[in-house]
Amino acid sequence: MEFENTIGLETHVQLKTRTKMFCGCLLKTGCEPNTNVCPVCLGYPGALPVMNKEAVKLTVMSGMMLGCEVNRHATFDRKNYFYPDMAKDYQISENGSPLCIGGGIEITRADGTRKFIRINHIHLEEDAAKINHYAATSGVDFNRGGTPLMEIVSEPDMESADDAIAYLTALKEMLVYAGVSDCNLEEGNMRSDVNISIRPVGEKKLGTKVEIKNMNSFSGIHAALVHEARRQRECMAHSIPIVQETRRWDPEAMETASMRSKENAHDYRYFPEPDLVPVELDEATIEEWRKLLPEKPEARRARMVEEYGIAEYDAEVLSQHKENADWYEAAAKGLDKKTAKALCNLFMGDVMALMNASGKTIGECAMPPAALAALVKLSVAGTINGPTLKELLPEIFEKGGDPEQIVKERGLGAVSDTAALEAFVDQAIAANPGPVQDYKNGKKAAAGFFVGQVMKLSKGKADPKIVGGLVAKKLSALALSLVAAMLVMFAGCVSFTPQQACMFTDHEGNVVSVEYGQSRKDHVSKFTAPNGKVLDMKTKLGVRVTLPDGDEFLAWECMNALSVGTMYRTDNEKWMYHANGISCRVFKKAVNPSTGEDDYLEIFEGVICEGPKNDGE
**Which positions lie near Zn ion, rule CB under 5 A?**
23, 25, 38, 40-41
d(CA 331, CA 90): 51
Pairing of the two strands 210-215 and 245-250: parallel
Main-chain phi, psi angles of 583, to 5 degrees: -115, 145
* Cβ atoms 358, 319 nearer than 8 A: no
Choice between 40 and 512, CB closer to Zn ion: 40
Q: How far is the CB of 54 from Zn ion (least distance, A)?
A: 15
- For residue 294, give the DSSP letter: P
Q: How far is the CB of 117 from Zn ion (least distance, A)?
A: 36
Residue 507: count other Cβ atoms within 10 Å of its Cβ.
10
Q: How far is the CB of 27 from Zn ion (least distance, A)?
A: 10
Choice between 143 and 383, CB closer to Zn ion: 143
Choice between 37 and 436, CB closer to Zn ion: 37
Choice between 19 and 432, CB closer to Zn ion: 19
Element (H, E) at 357: helix 352-358
- Closest by CA to 269, choosing from 43, 491, 489, 91, is 91
- Closest by CA to 242, choosing from 251, 229, 226, is 229
Q: How far is the CB of 125 from Zn ion (least distance, A)?
A: 16
Choice between 28 and 408, CB closer to Zn ion: 28
Q: How far is the CB of 370 from Zn ion (least distance, A)?
A: 44
Choice between 41 and 119, CB closer to Zn ion: 41
* Cβ atoms 210, 204 nearer than 8 A: no
d(CA 147, CA 142): 10
Choice between 41 and 554, CB closer to Zn ion: 41
Choice between 38 and 293, CB closer to Zn ion: 38
Q: How far is the CB of 38 from Zn ion (least distance, A)?
A: 3
Instruction: Spell out the residues 6+ positions from residue 156 whose beta carbon is closer than 8 angstroms to its own.
Output: 6, 7, 8, 195, 197, 206, 209
Q: How far is the CB of 264 from Zn ion (least distance, A)?
A: 32
Q: How far is the CB of 146 from Zn ion (least distance, A)?
A: 6
Q: At what angle do helices 218-237 and 161-178 cross, to 10 degrees?
A: 150
Helix, strand or coil, per DSSP, at residue 253: coil
